[in-house]
Amino acid sequence: MLFTKVIGQWQLKTKMAEMILSGRFPHALMLAGPTGNGGLPLALAVAQYLHCENRQGNDSCGACPSCLKHQKFIHPDLYFSFPVVKPEKKREPPVSTDYIKEWRAALSQNPYLNYYDWMQRIEAENRQGNITADECRQIIHHFSLKTFEAAYKIQIIWLAEFLGNEGNILLKLIEEPPPNTIFILLVENLEPVLNTIISRTQIVKVPPIEDNDLAQALLQNFEMDSTAAQKIARICDGNFDTAMIIAAGEENVNDKLLHQWLACCYHLKQKPSEANTQTLLEWTETIAKVGRENQKIFLKYALFFLRECSLLVQTGHSEKLDGDELKFARGLSAKLQPEQFEAITGILNRIHYHIERNANPKIQFLSNSFKIASVFINEPVRVD
């Protein structure tokens, strides 16, 4: 992948290229951030640049034999490890090469993919992916070989948090790697990663992509006008994976859905009525039917909207809302204090967490409607 194909992340791209050009690139780099921010595309661009035979300033040439192999993810001196499940009919523990075909297809389609997309691609169903001890031993084996073509041997470990304790097997290799070898580990979350691994790597955070860069990327990938692209970009937390899901989805009705929901929650304890309860039940039926991905997008939109409302309370204006949305936001801001916005945000984040992990959406939305109703009347709420 060329650096120019990586969406936004201008500072990081320059930093990576400069580290390589000055010979200061670390032998073990850990890129930390949500997959949709683009850690993996960045790692692919770094690997290609390290191997490129005809670098053009701060980017690879895209045309030399090495670049051509990188663009198909088949360079023999680039190794990938990622979470996998045991394939049917295989006795031994799974290793990444069992799924290398699926992996290359996934990369060429969308290198911003997340763990759940990947698990779906390899038909993991409800099984949890893993980077196994066998995989770690295979990495050690690869590193004992000479390079095939290039000056560097590069190992990319995607979602290294799935190494768990098996990471111990790699400690010595990461600490004292053979010459001209480079590890790039990608994590979304540093917490589950062994401290002994963290301390042996240079950590670089991959921040959210800027709204304007996201909007530009949407315009290049989808048929839409720039207003629509900006509208999507603003609710994605700088995550291109989320942006693509929204762009590919149906017409955006999230503002109407949110308006209805909060109005129901508002009346639930203030002015309880059978009609309102009935409307809430119908609303949960509707949201339950739209599917998990759309529920997550709805929650992202709701979180964005609340953030803007909170800004309205504090500053009196919003740069991202207009029309009916702004009117609704003004109404809500007049009723709520910043702490209440914060409490509702906490509840929405927990719903998102549970939906992502296959919780029953109807139960999630219904039970949390009562919690939001409690926030509206300043009752204490327990968020779980």
CB of 65 to Zn ion, least distance (A): 8
Q: Which is nearer to Zn ion, 61 or 219 (CB)?
A: 61
Strand, helix or coil for residue 58 = coil
Structure tokens at 265: 């929650």
Instruction: Count other C-beta atoms under 10 Å from residue 324's C-beta.
Output: 11
Among 28, 32, 67, 343, binds Zn ion (CB under 5 A): 67
CB of 67 to Zn ion, least distance (A): 3
Q: Which is nearer to Zn ion, 68 or 383 (CB)?
A: 68
* Residue 20 touches Zn ion, criterion: CB under 5 A: no
* Residue 262 touches Zn ion, criterion: CB under 5 A: no
CB of 101 to Zn ion, least distance (A): 25
* Residue 64 touches Zn ion, criterion: CB under 5 A: yes
CB of 51 to Zn ion, least distance (A): 8
Instruction: Count other C-beta atoms under 10 Å from residue 213's C-beta.
Output: 19
CB of 143 to Zn ion, least distance (A): 24
22 CB-near residues (< 8 Å, 6+ apart) = none
CB of 16 to Zn ion, least distance (A): 16
Q: Which is nearer to Zn ion, 52 or 193 (CB)?
A: 52
CB of 49 to Zn ion, least distance (A): 8
CB of 53 to Zn ion, least distance (A): 5
Q: 3 and 59 in contact (C-beta within 8 Å)?
A: yes
* Residue 228 touches Zn ion, criterion: CB under 5 A: no
Q: 325 and 255 in contact (C-beta within 8 Å)?
A: yes
CA–CA separation, 16 vs 39, rounded Å?
12
- Alpha carbon distance, N-terminus to C-terminus of the chain: 41
* Residue 61 touches Zn ion, criterion: CB under 5 A: yes
The DSSP annotation for 144-176 comes to HSPPSSSS-EEEEEETGGGGGGGGGGGHHHHHS
Among 52, 246, 309, 373, binds Zn ion (CB under 5 A): 52
Structure tokens at 8: 């936004």
Q: 354 and 362 in contact (C-beta within 8 Å)?
A: no
Please report which residue ranges of the chain form alpha helices under DSSP H.
10-21, 39-51, 65-71, 100-109, 115-121, 133-144, 171-175, 195-198, 211-221, 226-233, 240-248, 254-270, 274-289, 292-315, 323-335, 338-356, 361-376
Q: Which is nearer to Zn ion, 51 or 200 (CB)?
A: 51
Size of the site for Zn ion (CB under 5 A): 6
Q: Which is nearer to Zn ion, 67 or 347 (CB)?
A: 67
Binding segment (CB under 5 A) for Zn ion, from list 57-65, 102-110, 134-142, 343-351: 57-65
* Residue 50 touches Zn ion, criterion: CB under 5 A: no
Binding segment (CB under 5 A) for Zn ion, from list 1-9, 48-56, 169-177, 182-190: 48-56
* Residue 198 touches Zn ion, criterion: CB under 5 A: no
* Residue 44 touches Zn ion, criterion: CB under 5 A: no
Among 35, 60, 242, 340, binds Zn ion (CB under 5 A): 60
Instruction: Count other C-beta atoms under 10 Å from residue 145's C-beta.
Output: 11
Binding segment (CB under 5 A) for Zn ion, from list 46-54, 80-88, 132-140, 276-284: 46-54
Binding segment (CB under 5 A) for Zn ion, from list 50-58, 95-103, 122-130, 186-194: 50-58
CA–CA separation, 37 vs 112, rounded Å?
7
CB of 150 to Zn ion, least distance (A): 11
Burial of 256 (0-12, 13-18, 19+ CB in 10 A): exposed
Angle formed at CA 259 by CA 253 and CA 263, multiple of 5 degrees = 150
Structure tokens at 258: 């949110």
Residues that bind Zn ion (CB under 5 A): 52, 54, 60-61, 64, 67
